Chain A
């Protein structure tokens, strides 16, 4: 709080500075990407609704058919809970797309239970409550924001106790579920623009690199995901070429299989 007070003067002064006129920033028209030696390593994984929003603009999607409300088994292994938590948060975004208030509320409770299972329940309780309240009011923008906050708070809490790898598994679980639904939608009504949304090679490489550093998580599901990403990579990493309907179908088969493995006991 002392630091806060000290900074208050400079914040107020800074805000006065906003009276200055904005100017168009001059930037070089071209940079040599290969010479950008100082690249930030941190990766912000896109939220499922970032992809769903783009998909929605290509045509009406029947999101209700993708809402999942199965009860998951109780896992004891923390990596499995982390993967499942990411998947369930992604399910929350799907339920929001479908504007399915009961499903959103149910997912809010499941997220809380899973967060407790990996010891970060305290930081999630207010978000779970906010999700349920916003779903009651059908305030979908707030539900989306709270789901984002939930994922962020889970990951912050894990990072604080140096569980960064579990935090990455939460992101991975969400990405896999998002990709499963994306490919399912595009497979039903194929378009080149829809298939192009799968063009995420750097993200795939990011997850592969992170999984390679998780040798301590010697679980079948982790190995299955590693093998699956090897299968997926050549289907979506095709440079400037178009991703074919056949590739979309294959990625859907792979991610659906993994999705089932994530929610079921070995």
Chain B
């Protein structure tokens, strides 16, 4: 696929991601969170085609550059998970990593970060609580809104 076609496809996907967000979200959530979530869903889209069920529920917040936050989540051995982080802030750099309850990095090596999108992949070795750490590495904004979605198969 040529680069223009790729960009066109991505643009269409992002707009589609915004359109399919439940209307209730627009009614009750800060618009920046809606956009941040749309970017997280954009990152998730290729994985849906691979059979991942992307949860409707998600986490959101805002961070200053260099700040991080931890989300605690129950994961089940036998499943495979991806966590997708997005922000709407141009030129921001974000990251997401997964640690087990002992604080040991537990993600797969194909986890990635790409500007204002990042994703972490885990195939849990045990059932229990894990920590998903989201951080804003750099951002031109004083506070950078973020949204974290996850999917499993």
Contacts and interface: CB of A to CB of B under 8 A. Distances in A.
Interface of A: 3-4, 7, 10-25, 27-33, 36, 38-40, 42-47, 49-51, 53-55, 57-58, 123, 141, 144-145, 148-149, 151-153, 155-157, 159-160, 193, 196-203
7 contacts: A17-B116, A31-B103, A46-B76, A49-B53, A53-B153, A144-B53, A151-B56
Given A10-B90, A13-B90, A29-B104, 17 more contacts: A3-B31, A14-B115, A15-B7, A18-B6, A18-B114, A25-B95, A27-B107, A33-B70, A33-B131, A42-B59, A51-B76, A141-B53, A151-B56, A199-B126, A200-B127, A202-B129, A203-B74
A38 B68 contact: yes
Contact of B105 (A29, A42, A54): A29
A12 B78 contact: no
B10 A15 contact: yes
A39 B79 contact: no
Contact of B73 (A44, A49, A152): A44
A23 B114 contact: yes
Contact of B7 (A18, A45, A55, A157): A18
B47 interface: no
* B: interface residue count bin: 35 or more
B143 interface: no
Nearest to B132: A40
Nearest to B61: A40
Chain B interface secondary structure, helix, strand, loop or mixed? mixed
A149 B11 contact: no
Contacts of A58: 78
Interface of B: 3, 6-7, 10-11, 14-15, 18, 22, 24-25, 27-28, 31, 35, 38-39, 42, 53, 55-59, 61, 67-74, 76-79, 88, 90, 95-97, 99, 101-105, 107, 109-118, 120, 126-129, 131, 133, 150, 152-153
A45 B77 CA distance: 16
A23 B76 contact: no
Contacts of B126: 196, 199
Contact of A33 (B55, B99, B120): B99
B22 A50 contact: no
A40 B71 CA distance: 5
B10 A24 contact: no
